[in-house]
Amino acid sequence: MPITSDEDVLGGEPRIEGTRVGVRHVAAKAIEGGQSPAYVADQFEVSLAAVYEALAYYYDNIEEMRAHEHENAAAFESVSESSLKPKEPIS
């Protein structure tokens, strides 16, 4: 399964074609989480080959992936700051 991007799915982040499994999701589990590629494939219900393709894409495009990580972190922080504060004082 090739890696693809579509603005309508995952905000345009690279993902495994035909799924909503992002390259960053695979990398997070396999690299940061220390899980085996076979386990990651099982968890996401994709082929082992697709996991390896996602990891290869991640390493081949590390700067792009880091940019997506920073964008996602900034968006999360922005949303969490505004959503965790009450708009009006509670009486």
**Distance from chain centroid for Cα 19:** 12
Confidence of residue 87 (pLDDT cuts 50, 70, 90): low
Fold of the domain spanning 3-83? Arc Repressor Mutant, subunit A (1.10.10)
For 57-85, what is the mean pLDDT? 80
The pLDDT of residue 90 is 64
Burial class (CB in 10 A: 0-12, 13-18, 19+), 43: middle
Report how many helices (DSSP H) and strands (DSSP E) the chain contains, helices first: 4, 2
Domain definitions of the chain by residue range: 3-83
pTM for the model stands at 0.78
25/40 Cα distance (integer angstroms)? 9
Residue with the larger pLDDT of the pair 81 and 64: 64
Q: To the nearest 10°, the Cα dihedral for 71, 74, 79, 84?
A: 150
Residues of the chain with pLDDT > 70: what percent?
Answer: 84
Of 4-18, 46-60, 65-79, give the lowest mean pLDDT range.
65-79
